[in-house]
Amino acid sequence: MAFEGLAERLQGTMQRIKGKGKVTEADVKEMMREVRFALIEADVNLKVVKEFVKKVSERAVGTDVMKSLTPGQQVIKIVKDELTDLMGGEESPLQFAKKPPTVIMMVGLQGAGKTTTSGKLANVLRKKYNRKPLLVAADIYRPAAIQQLETIGKQLSLPVFSMGTDVSPVEIVRQALEKSKEDLNDVIIIDTAGRLHVDEDLMQELKDIRTIKEPDEVFLVVDSMTGQDAVNVAQQFNETVGITGVVLTKLDGDTRGGAALSIRSVAEKPIKFVGMGEKMDALEPFHPERMASRILGMGDMMSLIEKAQANVDEEKAKEMEEKFRTQTFTFDDFVEQLQQVKKMGPLEDILKMLPGAGKIKGLENAKVDEKQMGRVEAIIYSMTPAEKTNPEIISSSRKKRIATGSGTSIQEVNRLLKQFDEMKKMMKQMSGMTQKGKKKMKMP
């Protein structure tokens, strides 16, 4: 996970200042020294660090903070606000053409993730924006790149326009535009050629493509693992070709995160999306405020809720709620719930979105818990249908059989039965509470 080191350091620093009833200038100075250090370690651009520290310091020593009742928390809020600002403030929405097709040009160095991101973006456009995208293979120097895009297209069942390697990129894009009109594709995503370094020929080619129809978006795809280099590349592309936004890839890796924190300030272009994995659904819109929240350990409830909404079947959720309420929840439902949670991705990533989760000891072992989930499922699968509905009937000899059948131990079976029982009791209490609440409301 990106930002791990930075988050840890900043959270430690914030923790120290949080409860202070009185914050002196010396406290702020000390805190900012630590913040500066944390940012530099995270590979944030030096100029950016200096500006950030200056801004926060100025605001933090203001009289309204010092004199407030909760100065420590005020200071933390300032850090969060400035961190959000640093990453662009508001979320930057996708731009569409007034008259279709919308043209999105993907540019960037080789290996940054251009082709993969083109596919992911097409997937987002179809799923979230209800568009009909056409992918265009305009990298004529690497036949493998064209093939890769075609494979992605097949995988997503989305059309790919290609003309091999003998036609100029400008001509390919011209014909792709014609084709999009015929086939009623309202967005075209152009996957352009990449090089190992920024070079003049390539820049010229990209500028030429731009002349055919002014793109609505030119996205520079950069690899966040390259740190400061990503920032330099962004600056160069912006100055020569001109870009409208940045897609930071590989933020799922253990990048220190410096690029994410520097690009906006240095290149003055917003980060629009972040790549969070190799799969086709691993592209997320970039929310500066949520990211700042996550870095400071305040959690990211919004993303968590959205993730849940995208993965949970609403009908099923209602059904479950009813079962909770009427206490007819069985072990079969339990397994189904486990599977829903699993769909949301690695458990450790989900937990990290919870406020204060960084401080929970043992969270780094959350991966092991997924194995645990597998064992729990195995136990449940070894029960008979009657046992799943009425676990009270499970006798000691049956417990033994279930343990053997699932490759677990009697202790584990007992633990699960106890947990399930406690869960049911809790549901009973909760539904009792809501009933009381309803009665209360009805009373004059």
Region near ligand GDP per CB under 6 A, out of 73-81, 106-114, 294-302, 433-441: 106-114
Q: Which of 377, 374, 430, 356 is nearest to 14 (CA)?
A: 356
Strands (E), 153-307: 160-161, 187-191, 217-223, 245-249, 271-275, 283-285
For position 194 contacting ligand GDP by CB under 6 A, the verdict is yes
Task: Measure the CA–CA gap between 193 and 205, rounded to whole angstroms.
Answer: 9
333 assigned ligand-binding residue:
no
Strands (E), 224-340: 245-249, 271-275, 283-285
For position 114 contacting ligand GDP by CB under 6 A, the verdict is yes
Q: Which amino acid is residue 193, in one-letter code?
A: A
Residue with nearest beta carbon to ligand GDP? 275
Q: How many other CB atoms are there within 10 angstroms of residue 331's CB atom?
A: 22
Contact 84, 288 (CB under 8 A): yes
Q: Which of 245, 222, 231 is nearest to 42 (CA)?
A: 231
Token pair listed for 368: 């092991």
> Of 60 and 152, which CB lies nearer to ligand GDP in the complex structure?
152
- Residue from 84, 92, 115, 265 in contact with ligand GDP (CB under 6 A): 115
**Nearest distance from residue 277's CB to ligand GDP, in Å?**
5
Token pair listed for 413: 């079976």
Backbone angles phi, psi at 111, to 5 degrees: 90, -5
Residue 217: CB partners within 8 Å, gap ≥ 6?
94, 95, 102, 103, 104, 105, 244, 245, 272
110 assigned ligand-binding residue:
yes
> Of 270 and 297, which CB lies nearer to ligand GDP in the complex structure?
270
For position 257 contacting ligand GDP by CB under 6 A, the verdict is no
Contact 153, 159 (CB under 8 A): yes
**Nearest distance from residue 119's CB to ligand GDP, in Å?**
8
For position 169 contacting ligand GDP by CB under 6 A, the verdict is no
Letters for 277-316 (x = contact with ligand GDP by CB under 6 A, - = none) are xx---x----------------------------------
* Pairing status of strand 245-249 against strand 271-275: parallel
> Of 242 and 253, which CB lies nearer to ligand GDP in the complex structure?
253
Letters for 129-148 (x = contact with ligand GDP by CB under 6 A, - = none) are -------------------x
**297: helix, strand or coil:** coil
In angstroms, what CA-CA distances link 121 with 11, 103, 134, 287, 442? Answer: 33, 12, 11, 16, 51
- Residues paired with residue 249 on neighbouring β-strands, in sequence order: 223
211 assigned ligand-binding residue:
no
115 assigned ligand-binding residue:
yes
Q: Which amino acid is residue 112, in one-letter code?
A: A
For position 80 contacting ligand GDP by CB under 6 A, the verdict is no
Please list every residue from 209 through 228 that binds ligand GDP, using CB under 6 A.
Answer: 221
> Of 71 and 258, which CB lies nearer to ligand GDP in the complex structure?
258
Q: Which amino acid is residue 74, in one-letter code?
A: Q
Task: Measure the CA–CA gap between 92 and 242, rounded to whole angstroms.
Answer: 17
139 assigned ligand-binding residue:
no
Task: Measure the CA–CA gap between 399 and 379, rounded to whole angstroms.
Answer: 10
292-304 burial, b at 16+ Cβ within 10 Å, e below that, comes to bbbbbbbbbeebb
> Of 76 and 145, which CB lies nearer to ligand GDP in the complex structure?
145
For position 349 contacting ligand GDP by CB under 6 A, the verdict is no
For position 249 contacting ligand GDP by CB under 6 A, the verdict is yes
**Nearest distance from residue 146's CB to ligand GDP, in Å?**
11
Region near ligand GDP per CB under 6 A, out of 158-166, 246-254, 389-397, 408-416: 246-254
Region near ligand GDP per CB under 6 A, out of 125-133, 198-206, 249-257, 261-269: 249-257
Task: Measure the CA–CA gap between 49 and 168, rounded to whole angstroms.
Answer: 43
Region near ligand GDP per CB under 6 A, out of 71-79, 204-212, 275-283, 408-416: 275-283
191 assigned ligand-binding residue:
yes
For position 113 contacting ligand GDP by CB under 6 A, the verdict is yes
For position 110 contacting ligand GDP by CB under 6 A, the verdict is yes
Which residues here bind ligand GDP, judged by CB under 6 A?
108, 110-116, 148, 194, 221, 249-250, 252-253, 275-278, 282
Give binding residues for GTP as ranges. 108-115, 191-195, 249-252
Give binding residues as ranges. 108-115, 191-195, 249-252
